[in-house]
Chain A
Amino acid sequence: MSRLLIIEDELNIRKFLITNLTLRGFQVEEAETAELGLEMLRREAPRLLILDMRLPGMSGWDLLELMSNDGELVRIPVIVMTASPIKLDDNPYPNVVDLIVKPVSAVDLIHAVRKVLETH
């Protein structure tokens, strides 16, 4: 079963993500900050990272920058999660494969995750 990592600082949003993904058979790991998330990325090498961009301390962008300079981490596909709509047109990060704009419905979330897991 595919292992996913979620980095999201808001407890309830994290809970929402984990509940939905776990109930649908995904194996999910979670991290509250980008710093903890980075550690887990290196240790667990998940199949997919769902990354909130606005985090206390190191931001999602910082983490993406760090990943893009790491030969191993850059291979992990990332779904970026943000409350402010950003364009993925000139996406400088090759591993950012999809964008979830908050608020997101359970159906859209699962759809996005499945799509990424099928194609990457």
Chain B
Amino acid sequence: MGEQSVRTFNAWREKFFSQLRIRLLIFIAFILLPTSLMLVIESYSQRGMALDYVQQDALQIADLAAVTQRQLIDSTRQMLVTLSNVEVVREARTAECDRLFEDLARRSPMYTNIFALLADGTTVCTGLPGTSGINGRTLGWFQESLALSMPDFYVSHYELGAATRRPVVTMSYPVLNPDGSVRLFIGASLAVDRLENYVDLSRLPENATMTILDRDGTILYRYPTMQERVGERWPTPSLVDTINQRRTGTEVSIGLSGSERLFGFTPLDPPNDSAYVVIGLDYTNVLANLNLRLIQQLVTLLLVGALSLLLGWFVIDRFLGRDVRQLVQGTERLKRGDLAARVPMTDVRKTAELRELGESFNTMAETLQRRQRELEETNMELARQVVERERAADLLAQARDFYEKQFKARTADLRFLLETSTILGSSLDYRETLNAVAKLAVPGVGDWCVIQLRDPHDPEMMHNVATAHIDPEKLVWAEEIGRKYPYDPAVQREAKTGAGHVLRTGQAELYPDITDEMLVLAAKDDQELLQLLRDVGYKSVMIVPIEARGQVLGVLTLVSTNDNKHYNEDDLGLAQQLAQRAGIAIDNAQLFEAAGVQREQLQVTLASIGDAVITSDEDGCVTYLNRVAEELTGWGMDDAVGEPLRDVFHIISEETGQRQESPHDKVMQTGKIVGLANHTLLVRRDGQRLPIDDSGAPIRGENGKIIGTVLVFRDVTERRQQEVLLNTTFEKTVDLYRVSSRLGTTMTYNEALAAIEDSKYLNGVRQIVLLMFTEPWNDVPPLEYQIKAMLHEHLNLKGNVDEVLPLDEHPLYSYFRRGEPVLITNIYDEPDLNEPHIRAVLDEMQTHSIILLPLEAGNQWYGMLKLFSSSSQGWAQDELAHVRSLVGQTALVIDNIRLFQAEQVARKEAEQADELKLQFLAMISHELRTPLTSIKGFATTLLADDLDLPAETQSSFLHIIDEESDKLSELIDQLLDLSRMQAGTLRIMPEVHNFTEVLQQSQKSLDILVRDRVLTIHPLPDPQPVLYIDLHRITQVLINLVENAAKYSYPGQPIDVRASREKDMLRIEVIDAGPGILAEHQPHIFEPFRQVHIENQRQKGAGLGLAICKGLIEAHKGRLWIAYSGEKGTNFSFTLPVIPDANISNSTTNNSVTNYQERQ
């Protein structure tokens, strides 16, 4: 805040003092200042002088008083001498003498008394009656006079008179006897207080005082009269000391009145110095007077000063200020940007300098205004170009967005499928798996996903097994709908569309747009259902079958409730792939489940089979066989009874074949129930052997004694068979599970093949080859294939990995079948494989049989898996089935790998495209900045205020700015063309023309471009073909090609332009003799993005020209290409379609055009 106010103050101060008027006033003030100072100094010196003067006055008065006193003393002496000769006095005749003295004293009032004393002090006569009694010896002067060695005139000290108490100086003169002794003294007392009568005290200044002090400071006299103080001591001893020391001088001290006064002093009676005249002046008053005078003078001076300032103000304002103000106002307006500001030049009063200044100002303002207009025009032009440039950038951005969306959508699909496969491989619980699939499908593919599976017991019934909704809250609601409106087979049986229909037919259904009519139709008059259907907000629906091994297991329904998402064929494909993967997962899981179920069922079955029972007596003879025992042993009841048990129940060890101990003996020995060892075979009467399970128990009599045995046994043949079958199936399932688990983790084709080889059922397989068609084999066979992977690379029939080969030359081509495996049990039986070189390879691989398995995924047949086996035994049908399901898994995995690799390739391509795009943008940025740098550079140079540029230099700079603006404009045009081309919005405005017109149109530019190259335009075909072209654009192409030719060749070399008719096309060739374009650059020369690299090497420029030319020619349905480029130079050719039967001769172009148009 402080800083702010300081700044504000500084600004104000600068502004204030910069005013001309203020400056002039300050100038006047500066002149007045010394005058005032001088005045003050003068006043002070005057004051000093006045003080001196007063002091001198005081001294003078004091002196005068002293002199007067002395004169009086002299005259007194004369008087006393005269009196001493008067007889009356000499004789001391008192009466007469008294009269004389009285008379004298009366006439001379200056004397207080005249008297005569005897030497002993007795008063003999006196002029003052009543004083005759005074004895002289009590008086100071008398003593002093007596003390004189030589009696003479004596002047006493000043003192107060003894009788009068007035300050007096007493003088005496001795009257001597003839012997010289003193007869008497005649004296006279001179009154000091009468001094005013002799000295002109009126000369003293007002309020001045005169005091006579004796040496001790006693006040002897005071004027104006102040009798009461007479006799007192002077109140300030310091003044008395000073007077005693200095005798004559001046001093400032406190006076009798108590106020400070100036005192002048001098001795009254030098050299006695017994009294001093002290003149007191009113010091304060004197100073006050002086100060008053000083102030009066200063006030006068100030008044005069103010008057001059006022006068100056008006004079400046009247004669100078207004003009300057006009100039200032003009400058202010100019500063604010008002370039129309001018100083009025009509006033004749202007001084020459101001007039000149005003004129200069106006000239400057005009120049500035003109320059401003020029700059504004330039700016307008620049602004226009910037807008164009932004539009170009917008178009570029739009193109980029479009591309990115496309790419993202594609990669999202691929990722989705990859994720699906991973989930499907991870669990054998298909419900869990399907829930995962449904969740994955939302929101990737739809907002609502329902998976329904066929009831295993009722083929027409389906149940919801998995539901997912984009909104978790709606999931409950969606499940609620499923419960409220369960799948009704009776209704679905008749349905022509919908889930039931898909379940029956296995045909997927796609509804891109669900309309309200469709909902009404579906609801079938059920208002509540209709409302529900409307609430769901169906926008688009897909229903796809979930299939496995040719059976429809269920359906997958995907619903979009998003206005912007309407399913198309691509989405349907995705959904089908999803469903197919789900199908395999369900199949696997059901297979796995079924294996477990079968095993349990067997147990139950066997348990329910009736057991065989044989009883025997204690001797071991058969006493009873039940019907089952009869069947199993082959013995009838009648034959067997009485026979030894060991004959009827003939058992051997399954492993050793030796006769087993009879259970009868064991029971008899132990008295306990015994179970037979497993793996017991019953040898029937006819010799047939049956596996049995049996046990024996004692039969006890009433006394508890063992009276016989009972054998219970059962035939386990069926169970054994079941067990074997079950084990095989189980093993296969485990094998499948193991292999598919391993497959699920594979990321490369080789890993996938290695996983397959791991299967126990492929023991004899020596080589597995993965072959992929370059295109899916749908209706027509693809032309080529690639071997993607081989298990053991040294063993191969033909071709190397990734080598592209013709499919119909594949040795096993004739065996390729879609949808079914092909088994070549014995290659020696196959005439197709008899060719020696094929046979040689097969022999080397020790091949006896071959399995060919088609690889299919997403309803596409994309390749073959070939298994070469050394087994000569062939393949059991069930083994083949197992391999087939193995391959079904593999096909999916391989498809996943394919997708994965495709995604990687797509990603890489996108990254490259991004990189190129960035480079392109950097290039564009640079190209736009280059002319901008010149424009800004020269514009700022023109604006630089430290440079004084001559007019022609300025003009040349403006020309450069103009030239560079053109370049910028051209570049922006090119970018716009390019972006329009890429957005497919490049418009041409064709009219009927011929090539001569193109040449005429471009002639001027060509002349400038080729400069020191030799341009030859060869004769045109006659009659000239009629072209329907945008003349401006084709001219642009020609100029561009010739410009390139000039750019890439050297001075003096020829450039040829040729036009020739080729069928229904006119071909134009632009040929230079330059060094040609490098072969590796040729394929990219028309690509704006790639062009950057190439152009960069040798030539500057954005390199958009050829790309635009190609676009323009293609917009005309023509072609632009490099017909030749090599050592001899380069030939750029382009063709333009010719309008048939409309030839125009060179000379009559316009008429023919008219004719042509009329015919149109």
Contacts and interface: CB of A to CB of B under 8 A. Distances in A.
B926 A105 contact: no
Interface string A23-51: 11000000000000000000000000000
Contact of B937 (A13, A23, A56, A84): A13
B934 A10 contact: yes
Interface stretch (B346-354, B441-449, B613-621, B940-948): B940-948
Point out which of B941, B949, B1098, B1099 has the most chain A C-beta atoms below 10 A from its C-beta.
Answer: B941
Contact of A105 (B929, B940, B963, B1099): B940
Interface string B909-946: 00000000000001001100110111111101101101
Contacts of A10: 930, 933-934
Contacts of B932: 102-103
A107 B1098 contact: no
A56 B936 contact: no
Contacts of B963: 12
A16 B942 CA distance: 11
Contact of A103 (B937, B941, B1099): B937
Point out which of A17, A19, A54 has the most chain B C-beta atoms below 10 A from its C-beta.
Answer: A19
A104 B1100 contact: no
Interface string A54-95: 101000000000000000000000000001100000000000
Interface residues of B, number: 25
Contacts of B964: 12
A103 B936 contact: yes
A101 to B, nearest CB: 9
User: Ordered nearest first, which 6 A-B pairs have the shortest CB separation?
Assistant: A16-B937, A103-B936, A105-B940, A83-B929, A12-B934, A102-B933
Given A9-B1100, A24-B946, A83 B937 contact: no
Contacts of A83: 925-926, 929-930, 933
B1153 interface: no
A103 B946 CA distance: 20
B960 interface: yes
A82 B958 CA distance: 24
Interface of A: 9-10, 12-13, 15-17, 19-20, 23-24, 54, 56, 83-84, 102-107, 109
Contact of B1100 (A16, A23, A56, A103): A56
A10 B1100 CA distance: 10
A15 B933 CA distance: 11
Nearest to B947: A23
A85 B1116 CA distance: 40
Nearest to A15: B960
Interface in B929-983: 929-930, 932-938, 940-941, 943-944, 946-947, 949, 960, 963-964
A50 to B, nearest CB: 13
Contacts of B943: 106
Contacts, number: 67
Nearest to B921: A84
Given A15-B960, A56-B1098, A84-B925, A107 B934 contact: no
Contacts of B946: 24
B944 A107 contact: yes
Contacts of A20: 937, 941, 944, 947
A105 B947 contact: no
24 contacts: A9-B1100, A10-B930, A12-B960, A12-B964, A13-B930, A16-B937, A19-B941, A20-B937, A20-B944, A24-B946, A56-B1099, A83-B926, A83-B929, A83-B930, A84-B922, A84-B926, A102-B930, A103-B933, A104-B933, A104-B936, A104-B937, A105-B937, A105-B940, A109-B937
A24 B1098 CA distance: 35
A109 B937 CA distance: 9
Contact of A106 (B940, B1099, B1100): B940
Interface of B: 922, 925-926, 929-930, 932-938, 940-941, 943-944, 946-947, 949, 960, 963-964, 1098-1100
A54 B943 CA distance: 28
Contact of B941 (A54, A56, A102, A106): A106
B922 A106 contact: no
Contacts of B936: 103-105
B935 A103 contact: yes
B1038 to A, nearest CB: 26
Nearest to B926: A83
Given A12-B963, A104-B937, 11 more contacts: A12-B937, A13-B930, A15-B960, A20-B937, A20-B947, A23-B949, A83-B925, A83-B933, A102-B933, A103-B933, A106-B940
Contacts of A19: 941
A54 B937 contact: no
A84 B946 CA distance: 29
A106 B925 contact: no
A6 to B, nearest CB: 12
A112 to B, nearest CB: 13
Contacts of A15: 960
Contacts of B935: 103
A15 B937 CA distance: 10
Contacts of A102: 929-930, 932-933
Nearest to A23: B947
A106 B944 contact: yes
A92 B946 CA distance: 36
Nearest to B928: A83
A107 B947 CA distance: 11
Contacts of B1098: 56
A54 B963 CA distance: 22
Contact of A16 (B929, B934, B947, B1099): B934
Nearest to B934: A12
Point out which of B926, B963, B1099 has the most chain A C-beta atoms below 10 A from its C-beta.
Answer: B926
Contacts of A104: 933, 936-937
B930 A16 contact: no
Point out which of B925, B937, B946, B949 has the most chain A C-beta atoms below 10 A from its C-beta.
Answer: B937
A94 to B, nearest CB: 26
Contacts of A16: 933-934, 937-938, 941, 960
Given A19-B941, A106-B944, A13 B933 contact: yes
A79 to B, nearest CB: 14
A95 to B, nearest CB: 23
A20 B940 CA distance: 10
Contacts of B944: 20, 106-107
B933 A106 contact: no
Nearest to B941: A106
A57 to B, nearest CB: 8
A19 to B, nearest CB: 6
A83 B947 CA distance: 26
Contacts of A54: 926
B451 to A, nearest CB: 54
A84 B925 CA distance: 7
A92 B935 CA distance: 32
A90 B841 CA distance: 62
B940 A107 contact: yes
A82 B1098 CA distance: 19
A33 to B, nearest CB: 12
Nearest to A105: B940
Nearest to A101: B929
Point out which of A56, A84, A102 has the most chain B C-beta atoms below 10 A from its C-beta.
Answer: A102
Contacts of A23: 947, 949
A113 to B, nearest CB: 14
A83 B930 CA distance: 7
Contacts of B949: 23
A3 B883 CA distance: 85
Nearest to B935: A103
B511 to A, nearest CB: 52
A87 B940 CA distance: 25
Nearest to A103: B936
Nearest to A53: B926
A59 to B, nearest CB: 9
A83 B937 CA distance: 13
Contacts of B947: 20, 23-24
Nearest to A12: B934
B1092 to A, nearest CB: 12
